[in-house]
Chain A
Amino acid sequence: MVLFVLLPNLLVIATSFLSRDDVHFIRWQVTLRNYLRLLDPDYAAVFMHSFYMGLVTTILCLVIGYPFSYLLSRMKPGLKPYLFFLVIVPFWTNSLVRTYAMKLLISTNGLVNQALLGLGWIDEPLRMLYTEGAVIAGLIYILLPFMILPLYAIFEQLRGDLLEASSDLGANTRQTFLRVVLPLTMPGIIAGCLLVFLPAVGMFYVADVLGGAKNLLIGNVIKNQFLDARDWPFGAAVSLFLTLAMGLLLYAYYASVKLIRRSDTHAALA
């Protein structure tokens, strides 16, 4: 833990307060300049756009993954391993390769456009590549299993007798969902959202391959600073900012969950 978690993080934190050097990457001169640069409207806009794309990706993954996981968990025991296998299969191919495969599919002369043209549904190729939608679709494609896995795990734990009890006590399907299924699967929802959102804003190669110049993720900014602009201290500052923002989000999430619980108890006391 110390070697692989603490030490690298300390190095990043230290680096973020140092100055840039063209030859040695880092000059031993303490400064806050890197953090002030974060306030630059250009960067702020990139961050906002990145968060927005991450959020859309997460929500869509949840919307697709939640019913999918539910159905998967209700399948016949004999069928489950095979369906589950299908969820896992994509992991066997590197996600970068899959991203390029997706590029081939949706490019101007790609399979999708040719199929649509062939069917006569469109007259000229759709521009799908290098759009915001392409990035989001790519992110969903790669990250959906990370939503499904924790949700599936929690649906597997969901006790059938609780659903029967709810129905027995007069609750209809909607009430049972809102008052029993949703609260009891909330840990899976939170875990899935974090597992999708955190990588989503960092997956620079998806934005690189599918997004073009306009649809940058925070990951692109970090990667550019380290590899292209050779500004390690600023790159470190950006990644630290990302880490802190995530931490804040996590905290807000847990705080709100706690609050919901407490208000329930209060209602009970009243």
Chain B
Amino acid sequence: MSMSQDRKKIIEFNGISKSFGNKQVLPPLDLDIYNGEFLTLLGPSGCGKTTILRLIGGFEKPDTGRILLEGNDVTRLPPNERPVNTVFQSYALFPHMTVFENVAYGLRAERVATDDVNRRVSRALEMVQLVEFATRMPDQLSGGQQQRVAIARAVVKGPRVLLLDEPLSALDFKLRKQMQIELKRMQRELGITFVFVTHDQEEALSMSDRVVVMREGRIEQIGSPRDIYEAPVNIFVARFVGEINVLDASVRQLLDDRKLIADVEGKSLELISHKGRFAENQAIHILLRPEDMRLLPESSEQGFPGQIIERNYKGMTLESLIRLDTGRELLASEFFDEESPDFDYRLGERVRVSWVPGWETLLPNETPNPV
């Protein structure tokens, strides 16, 4: 929402690269971050996402390239001269200061008048609901409370960009969910650009306006959570942002711009390509999310025959692992539907597996020898 209203760039990476010793963490890279958006850097550990955050914060200097903040070159500026603040993964609260003093630290460093400090700190503590903890020391707080102090301390100065380095990774599941919602709310209320680093795909998808999926220093895909999830540009992205089934196929005939007929697991099927064009006889991957799969009775004409070899009850959904007669295994995740009599297949039962037509994602098979 905020993105479409205001597509002004707030941060620009132009040809930024970074090595530590002999190891190149970031090959030359461009990245634009827009004013007011919630941008998430997502990737496995060591993919360079934290390095990007530290480059914005000023804790690292790039080997090449320029970083622009609101059009100004800040590449060589030290952290204390940048209008950005960080919520550290470790929280990094000052252990010898009260909650109040921790939050006031940034304002005091700027020599803000005492009245102003008190007012702004109180407001920040109100926002994170920690007013009554102002005089506590950090070690007297729970992990979730420390986390909120770290956030209050970072936003109290009204930064142009807030950097969050896996801030929720130390919290337990329930608290993490709660903080995700609170962070979203704060971001809306404050109107600050959030740059969020995580390796948790669910967190990335549920919080972000845009997600940057990274691998080994390279940006694999940038897009809305929906884009990333439903139209991944390659198998890495597809696998990283959730469970995915991959089928190998080969194009037999092109019907029109989008439709084609392909040989899949010994059958010919009509498929739809949402992105990209393919050639006849090209090897392709068919990507399918488990929740798009459908289980049919064995008597059905559609789908591929197989046997259920695992069933996992997940509360909202029921997961089945099916081994096709061709040997390939597929994961299907179905929502409970009381009215569907076909729903309850037993372990070991023979079924047919299909999917909602048109919900497949087609990618070229880039491995030299298709399996």
Chain A residues packing against B (C-beta within 8 Å) = 159, 161-162, 164-172, 175, 179-180, 183-184, 264-265, 267-270
B96 & A159 in contact (Cβ 8 Å cutoff): no
Q: Is the CB of B85 within 8 A of A268?
A: no
Interface centre among A159, A165, A166, A180 (most CB of B within 10 A): A165
How far is A33 from B154 in the complex, measured between Cα atoms in Å?
66
If A169-B153, A170-B157, A265-B98 touch, whether A161 touches B88 (CB-CB below 8 Å) is yes
Q: Beyond A172-B80, A265-B135: 4 further Cβ-contacts under 8 Å?
A: A162-B94, A166-B105, A169-B157, A179-B105
**B105's contact among A169, A183, A265, A267, by CB below 8 Å, is which?**
A169
Contact A268 B92, beta carbon cutoff 8 Å: no
For chain B, give the interface size range: 20 to 34
Which residue of the partner chain A has the closest CB to B98?
A: A268
Between-chain CB contacts (< 8 Å), 19 pairs: A159-B92, A164-B57, A166-B105, A167-B58, A167-B78, A167-B79, A168-B57, A168-B80, A168-B85, A168-B86, A169-B80, A170-B80, A179-B105, A184-B96, A267-B101, A268-B134, A269-B100, A269-B135, A270-B114
- Find chain A residues with CB under 8 A from B116 CB: none
Q: Report yes or no: A170 in contact with B135, Cβ–Cβ below 8 A.
A: no
Q: Give Cα A237 to B105, complex, Å.
A: 50
Say which residue of B95, B100, B109 sits within 8 Å of A268 (CB atoms): B100
Which residues of the other chain, B, contact A169 by a CB distance below 8 angstroms? 80, 85, 105-106, 109, 153-154, 157
Cβ-based interface call for B59 (8 A)? yes
A218–chain B nearest beta-carbon distance, Å? 35
Q: How far is the CB of A23 from chain B (nearest CB, A)?
A: 59
Contacts of A165 in B (CB 8 A): 86, 88, 92-94
- Within the assembled complex, what's the spacing in Å between the Cα atoms of A171 and B118? 18
A166 to B90, CA, bound (A): 14
B169 to chain A, nearest CB (A): 14
- B192 at interface by CB-CB < 8 Å: no
**Complex interface bits, B139-162 against A, C-beta within 8 A gives 1, otherwise 0:** 000000000000001100100000
Given A159-B92, A165-B88, A169-B157; A175-B109 close (CB under 8 Å): yes
- Contact in complex: B92, A180 (CB < 8 Å): no
Bound complex: CA of A174 vs CA of B337, how far in Å? 65
Q: How many whole Å from B261's CB to the nearest CB in chain A?
A: 57
**CB of B110 within 8 Å of the partner chain:** yes
What is the chain B residue whose CB lies nearest that of A169? B106
Q: Once the chains are docked, how many angstroms separate the CA of A161 from the CA of B86?
A: 11
Q: Which residues of A contact B92 (CB under 8 A)?
A: 159, 161-162, 164-165
Q: A172–B78 Cα gap in the complex (Å)? A: 9
Q: How far is the CB of B88 from chain A (nearest CB, A)?
A: 5
**B185: min CB distance to chain A, Å:** 23
- Please report the C-alpha to C-alpha distance between residue A268 and residue B100 in the assembled complex, in whole angstroms: 6
CA distance A270 to B115 in the complex (A): 10
Chain A residues near B135 (CB-CB < 8 A):
265, 268-269
Q: Are B100 and A180 in contact (CB under 8 A)?
A: no
* B97 located at the interface, meaning its Cβ lies under 8 Å from any Cβ of chain A in the complex: yes
Q: How far is the CB of A127 from chain B (nearest CB, A)?
A: 48
Residues of A within 8 A of B95 (CB): 162, 184
Given contacts A165-B86, A167-B79, A269-B135, contact A264 B105 (CB under 8 A): no
